[in-house]
């Protein structure tokens, strides 16, 4: 008998979901498809790391004072070029660009959406063949269509995101996204060049046995976090402790593992970085949206839901606690003791 193979592709699922938004004209769907195309271009390049001269540092330093890797620059250009062509977006805020990029061609001036993107997160891991990712977040513009988008279009609370997602370039390449109807994952089938449905409604386990934090910064952590780490390391059969410590240093990879298996990811404030390290717009908001849509939680560790924080700056950083609901609540409990 001939075996038939007909996976559900990203485009099919996007079109199915579109009917849930009666006012939608298919623009958001088109945008997501173009993001997927850019992701495939970046994926191809990431897979060549080590074969061609794309690893290592470019000669630039980004706004955050970090050395840009060559692949950061490549990924940034790939996303901007693919997405600009749609005319659906009025502009982009990228972790790699100091200022927002405004598209001012006739089509884009009427674009309804803006995009925030970290084109290649965890890129310092590329040289050593560790998984990296791209993270994106889409908002409906609030400025008047027909004019150039403004900074205020990007400085909206995470609750206003209309879609968000990430691509993980790992042992396989996956795209995980949400439009507020659950968190859905796809795996790239290289033989047909399509993202194929893996899990329609991902569910974050309510509990887990993994904590992910850069313990090298221990002495600089708030006391609540230090105590939580000790709690994770204590032996208690009833709560499956001690927990395992797993930290790759690549947010998408750490979050993805915890989302699948249960766990908590913490990048807290430290003495030297009172706002933590991760960026609200490009990293925390999209990941928080995905986490919540899968039944998890995301806070700043001090009782504030990430998605409700009003951004004041596109490159703003925020302490970040995300993952399995009960584990995030436990971190909050420890932090509260020292408030
Ligand atoms: P990047 O956007 O410059 O790659 O930095 C973000 C990365 C995250 O992927 C990761 O969670 C974190 O930085 C690791 O930071 P640290 O090395 O301080 O633990
Ligand atoms: Mg990043």
For ligand 1, atom 6, which residue shows the shortest CA distance? Answer: 122
pLDDT in tens, 269-316: 998 899 999 999 999 999 999 999 999 999 999 999 999 999 999 999
Query: pLDDT-derived band of residue 128, with 50, 70 and 90 as boundaries?
Result: confident
Query: Over 80: is that where the pLDDT of 64 sits?
Result: no
Q: Do 185 and 284 sit in the same domain of this protein?
A: no
Q: Is the CB of 270 under 6 A from ligand 1?
A: no
C-alpha 248 to ligand 1 mean position (Å): 9
What is the crossing angle of helices 325-336 and 223-233, to 10°? 130
Q: Is the CB of 121 under 6 A from ligand 1?
A: yes
Other C-beta atoms lying within 10 Å of the C-beta of residue 235: 7
Question: What local confidence, expressed as pLDDT, does residue 20 receive?
Answer: 67
Query: pLDDT-derived band of residue 85, with 50, 70 and 90 as boundaries?
Result: confident
Q: Kindly give the number of the ligand 1 atom that is closest to the alpha carbon of 254.
A: 11
Of 150, 176, 199, the position where a domain reaches its end is 199
CATH number of the structural domain spanning residue 224 = 3.40.190.80
How many domains is the chain built from? 2
Domain contains 317: yes
For ligand 1, atom 17, which residue shows the shortest CA distance? Answer: 249
Q: Do 160 and 263 sit in the same domain of this protein?
A: no
C-alpha 72 to ligand 2 mean position (Å): 10
C-alpha 236 to ligand 2 mean position (Å): 35
CA dist 189 to 62, 69, 226, Å? 34, 27, 42
For 183, the enclosing helix (H) or strand (E) is: strand 183-189
C-alpha 79 to ligand 1 mean position (Å): 20
* Parent domain of 44: 10-199
For ligand 1, atom 7, which residue shows the shortest CA distance? Answer: 122
Q: For residue 281, give the ligand nearest its CA.
A: 2
Q: Do 217 and 113 sit in the same domain of this protein?
A: no
Can you tell me the mean pLDDT for 77-89?
A: 90
Closest CA to 285 of 311, 253, 246, 265: 311
* pTM of the entire predicted model: 0.93
Q: Do 252 and 180 sit in the same domain of this protein?
A: no
* 108 burial type by CB count under 10 A (0-12 exposed, 13-18 middle, 19+ buried): buried
Q: Do 231 and 317 sit in the same domain of this protein?
A: yes
Q: Do 166 and 18 sit in the same domain of this protein?
A: yes
Q: Do 158 and 231 sit in the same domain of this protein?
A: no
Would you list the DSSP string of 251-268? Answer: HHHHHHHHHHH--EEEE-
CATH number of the structural domain spanning residue 168 = 3.30.540.10
For ligand 1, atom 15, which residue shows the shortest CA distance? Answer: 249
Question: What local confidence, expressed as pLDDT, does residue 55 receive?
Answer: 60
Q: Is the CB of 118 under 6 A from ligand 1?
A: yes
pLDDT in tens, 182-210: 999 999 999 999 999 999 999 999 999 99
Q: How far apart are CA 28 and CA 38, in angstroms?
A: 15
Average pLDDT, the chain: 91
Q: Kindly give the number of the ligand 1 atom that is closest to the alpha carbon of 118.
A: 2
Can you tell me the mean pLDDT for 21-36?
A: 80
Q: Give the pair of three-digit tokens for residue 93.
A: 């805020």
Query: Over 70: is that where the pLDDT of 110 sits?
Result: yes
Q: Give the pair of three-digit tokens for residue 166.
A: 């990430």
Q: Is the CB of 96 under 6 A from ligand 1?
A: no
C-alpha 107 to ligand 2 mean position (Å): 30
Query: Over 90: is that where the pLDDT of 86 sits?
Result: no
Q: Do 231 and 136 sit in the same domain of this protein?
A: no
Q: Do 216 and 68 sit in the same domain of this protein?
A: no
Q: Do 192 and 241 sit in the same domain of this protein?
A: no
């Amino acid at each position: 008998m001939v075996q038939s193979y007909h996976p559900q592709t990203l485009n099919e699922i996007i079109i199915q979901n579109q009917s849930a938004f009666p006012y939608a004209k298919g623009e958001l769907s088109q945008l997501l498809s173009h993001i997927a195309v850019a992701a495939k271009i970046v994926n191809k390049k990431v897979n060549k790391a080590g074969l061609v001269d794309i690893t290592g540092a470019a000669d630039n330093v980004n706004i955050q004072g970090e050395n840009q890797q060559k692949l950061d620059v490549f990924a940034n250009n790939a996303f901007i070029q693919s997405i600009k062509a749609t005319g659906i977006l009025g502009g982009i805020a990228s972790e790699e660009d100091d200022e927002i990029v405004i598209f001012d061609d006739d089509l884009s001036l009427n674009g309804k959406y803006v995009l925030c993107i970290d084109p290649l997160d965890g890129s310092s891991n590329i040289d050593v063949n560790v998984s990296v990712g791209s993270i994106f977040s889409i908002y409906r513009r609030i400025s008047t269509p027909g004019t150039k988008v403004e900074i205020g279009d990007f400085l909206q609370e995470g609750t206003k995101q209309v879609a968000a997602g990430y691509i993980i370039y790992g042992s396989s390449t996956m795209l995980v996204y949400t439009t507020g109807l659950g968190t859905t994952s796809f795996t790239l089938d290289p033989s047909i060049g399509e993202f194929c449905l893996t899990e329609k409604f991902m569910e974050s386990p309510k509990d887990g046995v993994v904590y992910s934090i850069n313990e090298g910064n221990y002495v600089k952590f708030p006391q609540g976090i230090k105590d939580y780490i000790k709690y994770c390391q204590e032996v208690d059969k009833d709560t499956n402790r001690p927990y395992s410590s797993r930290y790759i240093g690549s947010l998408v990879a750490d979050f993805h593992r915890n989302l699948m298996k249960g766990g908590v990811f913490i990048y807290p404030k430290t003495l030297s970085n009172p706002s933590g390290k991760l960026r609200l717009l490009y990293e925390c908001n999209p990941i928080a949206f995905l986490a919540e849509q899968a039944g998890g939680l995301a806070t700043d560790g001090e009782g504030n839901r990430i998605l409700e924080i009003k951004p004041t700056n596109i490159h703003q950083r925020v302490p970040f606690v995300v993952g399995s609901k009960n584990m995030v609540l436990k971190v909050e409990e420890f932090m509260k003791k020292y408030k």
